[in-house]
């Protein structure tokens, strides 16, 4: 079936066969063991095309390890991570996985502080060249328009010529999300994106993620339940490396085991 127009930012080989209910990512019985410590156990999880999934869980539940498996940083002892219904990510290197359209944002923003906001986006868009070669190469007018649009979306238009190091923590977080978005990812992995943001920035993050879902698939690891409540269609609760519960936030909050893990009852 043809996907809805505008659902994908760039074509993947499987696009013409799928619709929004199809998975972009299928984790199947993933096991990760670190020197005898079992960090993920038989973990299975599907993310739909255009879905916004929140992954929550107490400290040490395995959320970071899960993202590390998807991005190729950690290789599981067993299990598969099928992307685009055909590619097993567990056999690929991190750079190859990024090229397939999987972008990851870590908790701490990593922007080039000495460069301007515009230059940061320009570099991210041009990708793999060295910094100076990249900045010397001219942008096409289409690329410039795309960066301008991104600045508007991120509410950073007034900051375009400021050094990124001068931005607030929240603005740096937005800039880094923009640096991922100009690379047109299909699947975005975001680790506690609202941490350290002001209330207004958190509110805008929620609005931004809801706008991005549909066009991109998003997996958001988050501790802030208020934030999860405002963004998530679907929540997965991890505990001790396993999926403890899955469903709407209301459903998982009513789950006895989840209440026990979170509230210690």
Ligand X SMILES: Nc1ncnc2c1ncn2[C@@H]1O[C@H](COP(=O)(O)OP(=O)(O)OP(=O)(O)O)[C@@H](O)[C@H]1O
Which H/E stretch holds residue 211? helix 199-212
Of 69 and 175, which has the nearer Cβ to ligand X? 69
Stretch 29-58 residues interacting with ligand X (CB under 6 A):
34, 37, 39, 57
Contacts of 140 (CB under 8 A, 6+ apart): none
Minimum CB separation from ligand X for residue 24, in Å? 22
Three-state DSSP state, 65: helix
What's the chain's Rg over C-alpha atoms?
A: 19
Distance CA 172, CA 108 (A): 9
Q: Which is nearer to ligand X, 17 or 34 (CB)?
A: 34
**Binding of ligand X by 77 (CB under 6 A):** no
- Whether the Cβ atoms of residue 240 and residue 58 lie closer than 8 Å to each other: no
Instruction: Tell me if 65 contacts ligand X by CB under 6 A.
Output: yes
Q: What is the DSSP pairing of strand 234-239 with strand 78-83?
A: unpaired
Closest approach, Cβ 44 to ligand X, in A, equals 17
Query: Which residues between 168 and 227 bind ligand X (CB under 6 A)?
Result: none
Tokens of residue 141, six digits: 């007018």
Distance CA 160, CA 51 (A): 31
User: Using the rule CB under 6 A, which residue among 3, 23, 48, 62 binds ligand X?
Assistant: 62
Among the listed residues 13, 60, 165, 226, the single contact to ligand X using CB under 6 A: 60
Do 40 and 69 touch, CB atoms closer than 8 A? Answer: yes
Decide if residue 144 touches ligand X (CB under 6 A). Answer: no
Q: Strand locations in the chain, DSSP E?
A: 23-34, 37-48, 52-56, 78-83, 87-88, 102-105, 187-191, 217-221, 234-239, 242-247
Phi, psi of 32 (to 5 degrees): -125, 130
Q: Is residue 108 part of the contact set for ligand X (CB under 6 A)?
A: no
Asked whether position 105 contacts ligand X by CB under 6 A, the answer is no
User: β-strands 234-239, 52-56: how paired?
Assistant: parallel
**How near is the Cβ of 57 to ligand X at its closest, in Å?**
5
Nearer to ligand X (CB atom), residue 50 or residue 79: 79
Instruction: Considering the complex, state which of residue 62 and residue 193 has its C-beta at the smaller distance from ligand X.
Output: 62
Taking the complex as a whole, the smallest distance from the CB of residue 34 to ligand X amounts, in Å, to 3
Output phi, psi for 115, to 5 deg: -95, 160
Interface with ligand X (CB under 6 A), residue from 24, 25, 47, 61: 61
Candidates 18, 53, 63, 104: give the one binding ligand X (CB under 6 A): 63
Judged by CB under 6 A, how many residues of this single chain contact ligand X?
11
Kindly indicate which of the ranges 61-69, 92-100, 167-175, 246-254 contains the residues binding ligand X, using the contact rule CB under 6 A: 61-69
Footprint of ligand X on this chain (CB under 6 A)? Answer: 34, 37, 39, 57, 59-65
């Amino acid at each position: 079936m043809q996907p809805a127009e505008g659902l994908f930012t760039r074509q993947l080989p499987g696009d013409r066969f799928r619709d929004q209910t199809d998975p972009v990512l299928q984790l199947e019985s993933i096991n990760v063991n670190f020197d005898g410590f079992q960090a993920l156990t038989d973990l299975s999880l599907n993310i739909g095309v255009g879905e916004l999934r929140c992954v929550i869980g107490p400290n040490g539940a395995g959320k970071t390890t899960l993202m590390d498996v998807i991005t190729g940083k950690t290789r599981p002892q067993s299990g598969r991570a099928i992307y685009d219904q055909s590619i097993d990510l567990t056999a690929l290197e991190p750079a190859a996985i990024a090229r397939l359209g999987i972008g990851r944002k870590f908790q701490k923003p990593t922007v080039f502080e000495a460069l301007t906001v515009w230059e940061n986006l320009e570099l991210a868009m041009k990708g793999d060249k060295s910094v100076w070669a990249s900045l010397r190469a001219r942008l096409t007018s289409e690329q410039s328009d795309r960066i301008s649009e991104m600045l508007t979306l991120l509410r950073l238009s007034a900051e375009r010529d400021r050094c990124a190091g001068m931005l607030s923590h929240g603005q740096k977080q937005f800039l880094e999300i923009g640096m991922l978005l100009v690379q047109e990812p299909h699947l975005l992995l975001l680790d506690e994106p609202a941490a350290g943001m002001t209330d207004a920035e958190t509110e805008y993050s929620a609005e931004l993620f809801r706008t991005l879902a549909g066009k991109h698939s998003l997996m958001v690891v988050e501790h802030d339940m208020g934030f999860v409540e405002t963004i998530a269609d679907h929540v997965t609760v991890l505990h001790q490396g396993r999926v403890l519960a899955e469903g709407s936030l209301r459903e998982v909050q009513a789950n006895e085991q989840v209440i026990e893990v979170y509230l210690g009852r």
